[in-house]
Structure formats: structure tokens, C-alpha cells
A and B are shown apart, each in its own frame.
Chain A
Amino acid sequence: MTNARWLLIVLALVTAIVAGVTAGTLPLTPSEVLHGLLGNAAPMHIAVVRELRLPRVLLAALVGAGLGAAGAALQGATRNVLAEPYLLGVSGGAAMGAVIAVALGARGPLVPLAGFAGALGAVALTLLVARAAGGRGDARIVLMAGVVVGAFANAAIMVALAGADASVVRGALWWMMGSAADASWMAVRGLALYVAVGIAILLVLARAIDVLALGEDTAAGMGVDVARVTLGVYVAGALLTAGTVAAAGLVGFVGLLVPHLVRMTGARTHRSIISGAALAGAALVVVADLMARVAHPPAELPLGAITALLGVPFFLAHLRRLT
């Protein structure tokens, strides 16, 4: 990928972040934002910038970065252009783990950890179902297995919520449609840790993913430990998914859409595809969250609904190419 294209992606992210912190029900100019950040503005401006806008924009950016990088790595390692956390059922598994943990009374860092366990369980289940149905090698079968596992996780969440009171159900429903509205600095810090670790693992594996994308037998002959690299990608993908799901719920299609956009800019090796997808994913989710906030004030739209509206046509176009 050329420097000009990197610059383009970084510029898109910076623009998205600036738009994210300035626009809203209380529009601010960039200089007002800056003064709010530095603390020499009206107390309400300071509060809006420091406690509402900035953590929310950063949370959205981290969600996008995690999902974009996870999608890029999963697509490469599984040689499946439709692989991404949401469609593979990984997000559903993470949500199931997190909801069950919350229903059992867990709070704080235990929730994303339970999500991580759920995500890993979903990966294993998806691969088992795909194998039983005739092949991990067939992109369509893996996808169907992922959708089935996602539906199962959804059902499990409904069962777990059956006894909960109405306000909890409403909160959980909102969360299952994806939302960055609960952003706080604590959530940003927690997610930053997950995203940093997850992306670091993927960047270490990036060269092996380049080789693995040629096919498993070929990769083995070129010195790749296929089982270990595949496991590493799934674990890092589950980590990234669990972090984002715990912070912002189910946000689908980002992991599908963004790696393709980055490849279209000319990125070929997975080191640049994964880093590009992290940056572009961040930009995309910040913009999507901005749309969620300002499209229909004072009500908010679910973030996951907006990313789905963007992603579904794209998914259909690629599905046509598969069949």
C-alpha cells in the first residue's frame, strides 16, 4: 500500500473523530472542543467534551478498530471473503457469555472475560458444525454454521433474560442492537487493552496469514504451523470481539466491509491489510455512531442497525460472487 493511501485512511479517521466530537445536539466548533479539552471553557462545554463526546468517539473508534482487524485476519486465515466476527457467530457467543455473566451478577472486567469464553466457545461450535455439515473448507458451509451458532446464542440470551425485569430487558435489547451510548473512560480503557493485545497478536501472525491464505497444505510446505497460526487468529479474533461486544454490544458487518475497502486501496499483505482495516474500521464506526446520534434527534438509532444497513448490500454482492 502506498503512502498516499495510508495518508487517505488516516485523514479519514481524523476527519471522522473531529466530526464526532463537534457534531451533536449541542454543536461545537473545533476550537470550542479544544478549549473544552484544555479546561478553559464553560463547565458544560468541558463536561460535554470530556465526559460525553470524547470517550464515546474513542470507544466507537476502538470498536471499529477491533472489528476491522479481526475481520481482516479471519478472512485471510480462513480464505473466506465473508468471514467476520458477527457472521461467524463469534459476536453472538461473546454476547451470550457476557449476558449470562451479568445475569449471574458479574460486573466490571469479568463481563468481557465471560464474553471471551463465549466467543471461543462459539468459534469451536461453528467449526464443529461446519465439519459435521461437510467441510471447513467450504466458505458457504462455515458461514451457515456461523449463522446457526449466532441464532443459538441469541436464543440462549432470550432464555437468560426471561426472568429479568422490563428495564433490564430493554437495556439488553438496546445492547444487542449495538450502541456506544454507554461510553465511559473506564470502558475506553478496558477496550483499549483488549484491542491493543488482539491487534498485536494479529500483527505478529500477519506474515504467516499471508502464507496461510494460499491454502493449508501449501502453507505447511512453506513452514507455517497451520494449526497454531489458525488457533492464534481465532483466539485474537475472539479477544477483539469480546472486548467490543462488552463495550458496545453487537455491531455487525464492520469486519466484513472494512477489509474489502482496504484491499481495494491496494493493500496486499496482511500486515498492511490488518493495520489499514483497524484504522478504516475506526473511522467507519465513528461515522456510524455519529449518524446514530444525529439522524433522528432526540432519539438515538442503534449503532448495529446503521452498520448493518451499510453492510448488507455489500454482503449480498459478495454472496453472489461466491455462488
Chain B
Amino acid sequence: MIAFDAVTVRYPHREHAALENVSLEASRGQLTAVVGPNGSGKSTLVRALVGRVALDSGAIRIDNVSVVHTARRAMATRVAVVTQREEPAFPLAVRQYIALGRYPHVGLWRGYSPDDVAAVDAAIALTQTSSLAGRTITELSGGEWQRVRLARAIAQGGEAIVLDEPTTFLDVGHEMAVFELLSRLARDGRAVLLVSHQLNLVARFADRMILLHEGRVAAAGSPTEVMQGSILERVYDWPLVITRDPAIGAPTLVPLRARPRG
């Protein structure tokens, strides 16, 4: 559904391209994860998708239509994005915030339609945020805020959801809850494209993994294909071993201590 086709992005005054010839695909019904070290181009991928950075070459397509030929609003009805950072400047009630996800569907003077209200209710139910609905977004904990942001993206509707590091600052329980929810969204038929640092969790949940390194695709395929010690050691520049997690046998990365000098 979302396809990056030989995408190259250069930021001004930088020697290396942020993304170079990157091709990847996120299909309906699948959780596709993009991983890679800091500065590997993961966030640029998301910013390019929402049109915040221009492509040097290549194309990003939603169902074979290039995003540069699609109005922002029309695109937002099909693809919802949860960016890495979002620091609201002003307080909004949680429900008001989630309802803002309906922005691309709502006309200029019309209020929220029954469809909009239903979408907001469904998103609140799915993310179990109804207990937060009376609070304002500036008084939520990190975990609550991430769930509410996810609810906003789900309320936005559409068949694809793109998330940039949705589990940063979350503890184990909240992190797992987010991954379970994303996995469920994929099973329900959406295309889920996830940018994450959590290699081990991604390996357990994702259908496909794409490993970025210095703006290029270093490996792509099933978690087993990408989670290879030789590849990851080179990309992350750190000694590590790959083992199997005892619960379900997914590949698991264990970084080693630095070897003593001399």
C-alpha cells in the first residue's frame, strides 16, 4: 500500500544523503518495521512521507499514486502518522484532541458528523483511553500520552498507520501494550509501518523488517533474515550475539560488553 521507490533525500550542507536509493513497501495486513542506528535515516523516511522534506529523486506512492500528486488532506484520510515528538503548546481535553484526528474528514463549517463521533469512540475503545477522556493532554503521563496519540491516529481512519518511535520513554508493560495494539491493527487489515529502535520487540511482532544504515537499506526481509549477527554487528558497530527468545523462539539480539583493552 505504501511504497518507497528508490527514494533519495539530501539535506542542504550535508555531505551524505539522508536517504539514498531506498525502496521499501508496507502492505495491508502486515506490520512492517524500519530499524537502524541513530542517524540512519529512519525519521527522514517519515518526514518525506508527510511532505516535510523534498525528495531528490525517486517517489513515494500510496496505492500506486505518488504522494506529490495527492492533496495533503486527501492523503491524511488514507494514511495516519504519529510523529516522533509532539509537544502541544496549549491544553486540549483528551477527547477534543482525539477528535482532531477527524480534521481531514470535516468540512469548513460543518461540525462533527455521526461518522466522526463513531470513529472517535471506536479509537478510544481500541486504545482503552476512555478513562482519560476527561483530562487535558498536558497532564498525561508519558505512557498515557502515547496511547492518546495512537487513538488520535486511529480516529483519523484510513488503511495505513505510520509511527515513528511510538514506544520511546515507555516501560515494559506499556511498550508491549503498544506493540500488541499495532499487531492487532495489522491483523485487522491495515498497513502498519513502524520506525523503531526496539530490535527485539520488532523481531517478535513484525512481519517484515527493513534495516537502514547510513541512509541505505542494509537488509530487508523476515525478522530471521534481517536479525543476523554479522549484519547487525557491522551496522551497529558493536559486538553482539543473536539468540532465540525462550518464549516464542524469535531472534533476539544480545549486545556484549566491550572487550577489555590491550
**Interface-lining segment among B24-32, B86-94, B206-214, B246-254:** B86-94
Compute how far the CA of A220 lies from the CA of B72 in the bound complex, rounded to whole angstroms: 7
Cβ A221 vs Cβ B90 within 8 A:
no
Q: Does residue A215 face the partner (Cβ distance < 8 Å to B)?
A: yes
Is the beta-carbon distance between A213 and B50 smaller than 8 angstroms?
no
B241 at the interface (CB under 8 A from A): no
Contact of A220 with B93 at beta-carbon distance under 8 Å, contacts A213-B88, A214-B88, A225-B72 already known:
no
Interface residues of A in 209-223 (CB under 8 A from B): 210-211, 213-218, 220-223
Contact flag A268-B92 (CB < 8 Å), given A207-B106, A217-B83: yes
Residue of A nearest to B91 (CB): A268
Contact between chains at A207 and B88 (CB < 8 Å):
no
In the complex, what distance in Å separates the CA atom of A213 from the CA atom of B72? 17
For the complex, give the distance between the alpha carbons of A268 and B93 in Å. Answer: 8
How far does the Cβ of B52 sit from chain A's closest Cβ, in whole Å?
5
On chain A, the residues within 8 Å of B82 by CB distance are 221
Question: B100 and A215: CB pair below 8 A?
Answer: no
Fill in one digit per residue for A78-93: 1 if any B CB lies within 8 Å of its CB, else 0.
0111000000000000
Q: Which residues of B contact A213 (CB under 8 A)?
A: 88-90
Task: Considering the complex, give the chain A residue whose CB is closest to the CB of B77.
Answer: A223
Residue of A nearest to B90 (CB): A213
Give the docked Cα–Cα distance between A221 and B86 (Å). Answer: 12
Question: Which B residues are CB-close (under 8 A) to A217?
Answer: 46-47, 50, 52, 83
> A208: which B residues are within 8 A, CB to CB?
103
A80-B89, A268-B91 known; A222-B100 Cβ under 8 A: yes
A18 within 8 A of B: no
Q: Are B96 and A269 in contact (CB under 8 A)?
A: yes
Does B215 touch A at the CB level, under 8 Å?
Answer: no
Counting CB contacts under 8 A, is B73 at the interface? yes
Q: Is the CB of A214 within 8 A of B100?
A: yes
What residues of chain B lie closer than 8 Å to A55, measured between beta carbons? none
CB interface residues, B 61-110, toward A, < 8 Å:
72-77, 79-83, 85-93, 96, 100-101, 103-104, 106, 108
Given contacts A215-B85, A268-B96, contact A221 B91 (CB under 8 A): no
- Chain B, 146-182, contact with A by CB distance < 8 Å: what is the 0/1 string? 0000000000100000100000000000000000000
Q: Does B51 contact A (CB under 8 A)?
A: yes
A251-294 contact mask (Cβ, 8 Å, vs B): 1 or 0: 00000000000010000110000000000000000000000000
A76 contacts chain B at the CB level, 8 A cutoff? yes
Provide the residues of chain B in CB contact with A204, threshold 8 Å: 108
Q: B86, A211: Cβ atoms under 8 Å?
A: no
Q: How far is the CA of A220 from the CA of B51 in the complex (A)?
A: 7
Contact B96 A222 (CB under 8 A): no
User: Is A224 part of the binding interface, using a Cβ–Cβ cutoff of 8 Å?
Assistant: yes
Q: Which of A204, A210, A213, A217 has the most CB of B within 10 A?
A: A217
Whether A221 pairs with B80 at a CB distance below 8 angstroms is yes
Cα distance, A215 to B152, chains bound together (Å): 14
Question: When the two chains form their complex, are residues B90 and A223 in contact, meaning their CB atoms are under 8 A apart?
Answer: no
B50 touches A211 (CB 8 A): no
A224 near B88: Cβ-Cβ < 8 Å: no
B50 near A221 with CB under 8 A, answer: yes
Say which residue of B80, B89, B108 sits within 8 Å of A81 (CB atoms): B89
Residue contact B52 to A220, C-beta cutoff 8 Å: yes
| Smallest beta-carbon distance A139→chain B, Å | 9
Known: A79-B89, A215-B87, A225-B72. A220 touches B100 (CB 8 A): no
**A221 in contact with B100 (CB, 8 Å):** no
- A269→B90 CA distance, assembly (Å): 10
Q: Are A222 and B86 in contact (CB under 8 A)?
A: no
Which residues of B are found within 8 Å of A263, using beta-carbon distances? 90
Cα–Cα, bound, A286→B59 (Å): 56
The answer to whether B108 and A222 have CB atoms under 8 Å apart is no
Interface contact B86-A215, CB-CB below 8 Å: yes
CA distance A211 to B72 in the complex (A): 13
The interface centre, meaning the residue of B85, B96, B103, B106 with most chain A CB atoms within 10 A of its CB, is B103
| The one of A207, A221, A268 that contacts B83, using a Cβ cutoff of 8 Å | A221
- The interface residues of chain A lying within 8 Å CB-to-CB of B75 are 223
Within 8 A of B (CB), among A200-259: 204, 207-208, 210-211, 213-218, 220-226
Distance of B112 from chain A, by nearest CB (Å): 11
- Residues in chain B near residue A269, CB distance under 8 A: 92, 96
Chain B residue numbers with a CB within 8 Å of A268 are 90-93, 96
Cα of A214 to Cα of B81 in the assembled complex, Å: 13
**Known interface pairs A210-B100, A268-B96; A223-B86 also in contact (CB < 8 Å):** no
The CA-CA distance from A269 to B81 in the complex, in Å, is 22
Chain B residues in 8 Å Cβ range of A218: 81, 83, 86
Q: Which residues on A sit within 8 Å (CB–CB) of B81?
A: 218, 220-222
B165 shortest CB reach to chain A, Å: 13
Chain B residue, CB-CB nearest to A269: B96
A81 to B73 alpha-carbon distance, docked (Å) = 27
The 5 closest A-B pairs by CB, nearest first: A223-B76, A221-B81, A223-B104, A79-B89, A223-B73
24 A-B pairs whose Cβ atoms sit less than 8 Å apart in the complex: A75-B89, A76-B89, A204-B108, A207-B108, A210-B92, A210-B103, A213-B88, A215-B83, A216-B52, A217-B83, A218-B86, A220-B51, A220-B81, A221-B50, A221-B79, A221-B162, A222-B101, A222-B103, A223-B72, A223-B76, A223-B103, A224-B72, A224-B103, A269-B96
